[in-house]
Amino acid sequence: MFVKEDTRQLARIVKIDNLLPIPKADRLEIAVVQGWECVVQKGTYQIGDEALYFEIDAAIPLDSPIFADFDKQYLRVKKDEGNAKEYAVIKTIRLRGALSQGLLISRATYAGTGAAGNSVGTNVTNALDVLKYVSPEEARLYTNTSLQLDDKQSKKLVWRLRAWLVNGIVSDGLQPFPHGHVKSEEERVQNQFEEYTAMAKAGETAELSIKLDGESSTFYTELDSAKIGVAQRNYSLRTDDVLYTRWQSLRVYLADWVRCIARRRSGADCDTPRWKKGFLAQSVPLVAYFTRENLAYKIALFNDTNDLPFAKGKKLAIQGEMVGPDFNRNADGAKTNCFYMYRTFVNGNMRLLPEQARQVADALGVKYIPVMDANFALPPTIKEVMALADGPGHFDQTRLREGLVMKNNVTGKSFKIISNKWLEKKEKKEA
Strand partners, 131: 59
DSSP string, 60-113: EETT-GGGTTS-GGGSEEEE-TTT--EEEEP--EEETTEEE-SEEEETTTTTTS
Q: Could you give the 3-state DSSP secondary structure of residue 165?
A: helix
Taking only the tens place, the pLDDT of each residue in 289-311 is 999 999 999 999 999 999 999 99
Task: Tell me, yes or no, whether 408 lies in a domain.
Answer: yes
Task: Tell me, yes or no, whether 140 lies in a domain.
Answer: no
Do 235 and 344 lie in one domain? The reply is yes
Do 155 and 268 lie in one domain? The reply is yes
| Residue pair 329/343 in contact by the 8 Å Cβ criterion | no
Contacts of 17 (CB under 8 A, 6+ apart): 32, 33, 34, 47
Do 224 and 344 lie in one domain? The reply is yes
Residue 103 pLDDT grade (very low, low, confident, very high; cuts 50, 70, 90): very high
The domain containing residue 126 runs over which residues? 2-134
Do 250 and 267 lie in one domain? The reply is yes
pLDDT at 82: 65
Q: Flag the least confident range among 95-99, 146-150, 155-159.
A: 146-150
Do 407 and 370 lie in one domain? The reply is yes
Q: Flag the least confident range among 44-53, 100-109, 147-156, 342-351.
A: 147-156
For residue 10, the domain's CATH number is 2.40.50.140
DSSP string, 211-257: EP-SEEEEEEE-TTT--EEEE-SSEEE--S-EEPPHHHHHHHHHHHH
- Say how far apart CA 232 and CA 242 lie, in whole Å: 19
Residue 87 pLDDT grade (very low, low, confident, very high; cuts 50, 70, 90): very high
Asked whether residue 77 carries a pLDDT value surpassing 90, the answer given is: no
Task: Tell me, yes or no, whether 255 lies in a domain.
Answer: yes
Do 128 and 187 lie in one domain? The reply is no
Taking only the tens place, the pLDDT of each residue in 181-196 is 999 888 899 999 889 9
Task: Tell me, yes or no, whether 201 lies in a domain.
Answer: yes
Do 383 and 403 lie in one domain? The reply is yes
Task: Mark which of 134, 161, 194 sits at the end of a domain.
Answer: 134
Contacts of 48 (CB under 8 A, 6+ apart): 15, 16
Do 37 and 98 lie in one domain? The reply is yes
For residue 208, the domain's CATH number is 3.30.470.30
Taking only the tens place, the pLDDT of each residue in 376-395 is 999 999 989 999 999 999 99
- Say how far apart CA 163 and CA 144 lie, in whole Å: 10
Asked whether residue 152 carries a pLDDT value surpassing 60, the answer given is: no
As a dihedral over the C-alpha atoms of residue 198, residue 203, residue 209, residue 212, rounded to 10 degrees, the angle is 10
The DSSP 8-state label assigned to residue 329 in this structure reads: G
Do 329 and 400 lie in one domain? The reply is yes
pLDDT at 155: 46
- Say how far apart CA 185 and CA 182 lie, in whole Å: 9
pLDDT at 265: 79
Alpha carbons within 13 A on the beta-carbon side of 193: 13
Do 331 and 390 lie in one domain? The reply is yes
Task: Tell me, yes or no, whether 333 lies in a domain.
Answer: yes
- Say how far apart CA 346 and CA 353 lie, in whole Å: 11
Task: Tell me, yes or no, whether 144 lies in a domain.
Answer: no
Residue 227 pLDDT grade (very low, low, confident, very high; cuts 50, 70, 90): very high
Do 108 and 21 lie in one domain? The reply is yes
DSSP string, 347-396: TTTEEPPHHHHHHHHHHHT-EEPPEEEEEEEPPSSHHHHHHHH--B-SS-
Task: Tell me, yes or no, whether 146 lies in a domain.
Answer: no
Query: How would you label 223-242 residue by residue, b for 16+ Cβ within 10 Å and e otherwise?
Result: beeeebbbbbbbbbbbbeee
Residue 75 pLDDT grade (very low, low, confident, very high; cuts 50, 70, 90): confident
pLDDT at 35: 86
Angle at which helices 382-389 and 193-201 cross, to 10°: 100
Task: Mark which of 78, 105, 134 sits at the end of a domain.
Answer: 134
pLDDT at 78: 86
Asked whether residue 150 carries a pLDDT value surpassing 50, the answer given is: no
Strand partners, 98: 95
Residue 199 pLDDT grade (very low, low, confident, very high; cuts 50, 70, 90): very high
Q: How far is CA 132 from the centre of its chain?
A: 10
Task: Mark which of 106, 134, 162 sits at the end of a domain.
Answer: 134
Do 269 and 301 lie in one domain? The reply is no
The mean pLDDT value for 341-359 works out to: 97
What is the count of structural domains for the chain? 3
Task: Tell me, yes or no, whether 230 lies in a domain.
Answer: yes
| Nearest Cα residue to 347 out of 386, 379, 313 | 313
Asked whether residue 241 carries a pLDDT value surpassing 60, the answer given is: yes
User: Taking all residues of the chain, what is their mean pLDDT, rounded to a whole number?
Assistant: 90
- Say how far apart CA 37 and CA 127 lie, in whole Å: 24
Do β-strands 367-368 and 350-351 pair in parallel, antiparallel, or remain unpaired? unpaired
pLDDT at 146: 41
The mean pLDDT value for 43-65 works out to: 95
